[in-house]
Amino acid sequence: MNAPRVIRRGFTLIEAVIVVVVIAIAIPPTLLWFDSAVSRRADAVSTLRATTLATLVLEHIIADVNSDAAGLGYAALASPATYLDTPGTGLRARLSSATGMYQSMGLSYQVTIGAPTDYRGVVTGTGADLFRRVTVTITIPRADGAPITMPVSAMVAAP
pLDDT digits (tens, 9 = 90+) for 91-139: 999 999 999 999 999 999 999 999 999 888 888 888 888 999 999 999 9
pLDDT at 45 over 70: yes
Residue 59, in any domain of the structure: yes
- Number of domains observed in the structure of the chain: 1
Residue 4, in any domain of the structure: no
Phi and psi at residue 44, in whole multiples of 5°?
-65, -40
pLDDT band at 1 (very low <50, low <70, confident <90, very high): low
Nearest to 110 by CA among 72, 153, 146, 46: 153
Residue 149, in any domain of the structure: yes
CA–CA separation, 42 and 54 (whole Å): 18
The more confident residue out of 146 and 83 is 83
Residue 65, in any domain of the structure: yes
Reported as a single tens digit per residue, the pLDDT across 3-27 is 677 676 777 888 889 999 998 888 8
Host domain of residue 50: 46-157
